[in-house]
Amino acid sequence: MKTVNDINFKGKRVLIRVDFNVPLNEDREVTDTTRIEAAKPTIINILEDEGSCILMSHLGRPKNKEAQFSLRHVVEAATEVLGVNVKFVDDCVGETVEQAVADLKSGEILLLENLRYHPEEKQGDRAFAEKLAKLGDYYVNDAFGTAHRAHASTAIIADFFPDNKCFGLLLASEIEHVNKVLTDGKPPVTAIIGGAKVSSKITVIENILDKIDHLIIGGGMAFTFIKAQGGNVGASLVEDDKLDLALEILEKAKEKGVSVHLPSDAVIADSFSEMAATDVNDIDTIPEGWMGLDVGPKSNELFASVISQSNTILWNGPAGVFEMEPFAKGTISLGNAIAEATKNGAFSLVGGGDSVAAVKKFDFTDKVSYVSTGGGAMLEMLEGKTLPGIKAMKE
């Protein structure tokens, strides 16, 4: 896997696909610079070689070039994080852009306007990719968050740089860390899969069963498994059309010698609200009209015990509705157990939007081995899929 470390970019214009799809507030100020910070090592590496950087990204899901989706709003935050003045041009292809690139000197950075202002980007249009390719001597992909999309700037463009393309440090690091779980995981390997629905995680579970020793199931999806086994889950979230599937997963896990750990108790509520009346109950005898919104104390103890004996840990999905304070304890307990195991030498990988949000909210970011920046991309890698953005770089 060739990365920016393997090339000297002196005097070269380097076209970098970054993921600056960052959150903005009502005043259109960046509220979280994590993704900009993640791209910094690659950008600085090229600048230190005395190359120049042309950054391209998308922002949001514009339909008609709406002003709120302009990457102009990201310039100030990018300049601050990178410590280098970031220039901006208000399109990503065409004569104005080509002139701005021609004027770029070594050590300078130019940010192009939102790629998705052009529908051809998402269509994976070859002619559009070729116009983008004209802007650089080298192409670097450092956007793990979009590596699962066959878009013009992530998959198609690589064709125009047969010998002059490489991985950015972030993308290389993401691939390496996911593989650390999937192929090089030191046993016992434990996967913690949570979130609302079995349907969204089914392919992940099926693909990782051959690679893990323990499977902890939390979040709303646990109730589908409990009901499938004959439990009463009250008004808890259940996918009734996935009950047979849940039983199949349990059977497959048994065949492969994987220990499945389901919650034994739950924090239940009489409504989906922070102000609801709550109680702790066995998870398979939840009264009618009550719903489980978090795992209970006995489950927290069980999960922590399994995690403490693990050498490799994958965490994808929270244990409960952690956004509401009364139902956050299970997720915090998972975070504490993973942090403790990591401190004792385990490798821990956290990925998927909600888990990453929980890790940030409860200050676990520096207490786990690696936090992935790409929710959908990481899920697809865990499902065993070949990501178009990564495949294009290897061809």
126 in a known ligand binding site:
no
Closest by alpha carbon to 44, among 78, 73, 2? 78
CATH architecture for segment(s) 185-382:
3-Layer(aba) Sandwich (3.40)
Rounded CA-CA distance 118/101 in Å is 19
Q: Helices 353-361 & 329-343, crossing angle to 10 degrees? A: 80
Rounded CA-CA distance 319/294 in Å is 6
Same fold, 4-172 and 185-382: yes
Q: Residue 353: pLDDT band by 50, 70, 90 thresholds? A: low
Q: Strand pairing of 52-56 and 13-17?
A: parallel
pTM: 0.88
**Rounded mean pLDDT, 275-289:** 97
116 in a known ligand binding site:
yes
Rounded CA-CA distance 209/254 in Å is 10
For residue range 290-306, list pLDDT tens digits in order.
Answer: 999 999 999 999 999 99
For residue range 59-104, list pLDDT tens digits in order.
Answer: 999 999 999 999 999 999 999 999 999 999 999 999 999 999 999 9
Q: Where are the domains of the chain?
A: 4-172, 185-382
Q: Which two tokens stand for residue 356?
A: 């990453």
Q: Which CATH homologous superfamily contains domain 4-172?
A: Phosphoglycerate kinase, N-terminal domain (3.40.50.1260)
Looking at the annotation, which residues are catalytic? 35, 197, 353, 376
Q: Strand pairing of 265-269 and 278-282?
A: antiparallel
Quick one: CA torsion of 289, 295, 298, 300, rounded to 10 degrees? -170
Whether the upstream peptide bond of residue 188 has omega within 30° of 0, thus cis, is: yes
72 in a known ligand binding site:
no
Rounded CA-CA distance 145/16 in Å is 14
For residue range 184-241, list pLDDT tens digits in order.
Answer: 889 999 999 998 888 888 888 998 999 999 999 999 999 999 999 999 999 999 999 9
**Rounded mean pLDDT, 157-172:** 96
17 in a known ligand binding site:
no
58 in a known ligand binding site:
yes
374 in a known ligand binding site:
no
Rounded CA-CA distance 222/195 in Å is 9
35 in a known ligand binding site:
yes
Rounded CA-CA distance 372/317 in Å is 13
